[in-house]
């Protein structure tokens, strides 16, 4: 039997979009733990936020913050023969092997300020106090502070309509950056979730040989991650239905929103993989 490796988004997927609770996913999470299935968090959230939730989940696997801006691998997680040559700068930091894939936050902030000078009504997390981030996201103040600790990606607000959005995308790309959308717009470098996921897949294959990769997400910024695995699954939005861009793809659709749908889809996947649940 191939060893499963699971990649998951957080907001609106493993975490409820309104309460940020993962309680509805606990049965599947406990099952994954019992079966020793790696659960790799791949989110737009910062390192500080992901570490906060890894602590709550008891998760000790690698993780990918800020839409693929880097890969964080706990020191000693893979044996030496699993270390593969990867693109991007590497450092040892915070007890991790860190593979940098994204742009620097300083460069992203400068680009956002240039966009504002060019007439785009954009406002990033770096322009906001923690109380404002908390109000916009529904996060507690402590987590809003963590959300502002950006390293590779800047979430921002832009009230322009479809025409304005097209002009914004063009302007961002002319500056050498990319733009994606989850709960908010994000400006980032030449990185995405899929690139980071592919790096870890290579490492897991060296470690375990045959593996079976699965990913769960709910937003357009999950698209590259979902395309990078063998078994992509999308969960419903909290207000019903699936994101139209993801629904247009040939992805499995979980029966339920957020962690409820996540729980059902993961248990179904494990049963179909051959585990006796």
Active site residues: 9
Q: Which two tokens stand for residue 165?
A: 């959005």
Cα 9-12-17 angle, rounded to 5 deg:
145
Instruction: Give the Cα-Cα-Cα angle 86, 87, 91 (nearest 5 degrees).
Output: 80
Write the DSSP string, 38-102: -EEEE-SS-HHHHHHHHHHHT--S-EE-TTTTEEEEETTSS-GGG----SSEEEEETTEEEEE-S
What own/partner pairs with CB < 8 Å and gap ≥ 24 does 110-117 have? 111/172, 111/175, 111/177, 111/187, 112/154, 112/156, 112/187, 114/175, 115/168, 115/171, 115/172, 115/175
CA atoms of 147 and 44, how far apart (whole Å): 10
Sheet holding 123-124, edge to edge: 123-124, 153-157, 185-188, 178-181
Report CA dihedral (187, 188, 189, 192) to the nearest 10 degrees: -130
| Ramachandran assignment for 67, one of left (phi > 0), alpha (psi -120 to 50 degrees), beta (any other) | left
**Residue 134 dihedral angles phi and psi, to the nearest 5°:** -60, -45
């Amino acid at each position: 039997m191939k060893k499963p490796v699971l990649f998951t988004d957080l907001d609106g997927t493993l975490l409820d979009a309104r309460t940020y609770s993962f309680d509805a996913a606990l049965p599947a999470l406990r099952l994954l733990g019992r079966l020793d299935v790696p659960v790799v968090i791949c989110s737009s959230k910062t390192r500080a936020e992901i570490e906060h939730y890894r602590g709550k989940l008891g998760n000790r696997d690698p993780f990918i913050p800020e839409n693929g801006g880097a890969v964080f691998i706990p020191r000693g997680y893979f044996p030496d023969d699993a270390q593969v040559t990867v693109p991007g700068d590497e450092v040892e930091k915070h007890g991790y092997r860190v593979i940098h894939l994204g742009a620097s936050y300083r460069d992203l902030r400068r680009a956002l300020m240039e966009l504002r000078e060019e007439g785009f009504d954009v406002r990033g997390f770096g322009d906001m106090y923690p109380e404002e981030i908390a109000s916009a996201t529904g996060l507690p103040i402590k987590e809003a502070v963590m959300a502002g600790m950006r390293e590779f990606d800047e979430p921002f607000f832009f009230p322009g309509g479809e025409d304005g959005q097209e002009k914004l995308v063009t302007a961002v790309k002319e500056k050498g950056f990319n733009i994606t959308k989850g709960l908010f717009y994000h400006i980032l470098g030449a990185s995405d979730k899929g690139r980071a996921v592919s790096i870890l897949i290579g490492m897991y294959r060296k470690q375990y040989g045959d593996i079976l990769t699965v990913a769960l997400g709910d937003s357009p910024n999950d698209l590259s991650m979902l395309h990078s695995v063998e078994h992509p699954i999308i969960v419903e939005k909290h207000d019903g239905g699936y994101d139209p861009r993801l629904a247009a793809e040939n992805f499995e659709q979980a029966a339920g929103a957020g962690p409820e749908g996540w729980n059902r889809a993961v248990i179904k996947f494990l049963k179909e993989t051959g585990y006796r649940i």
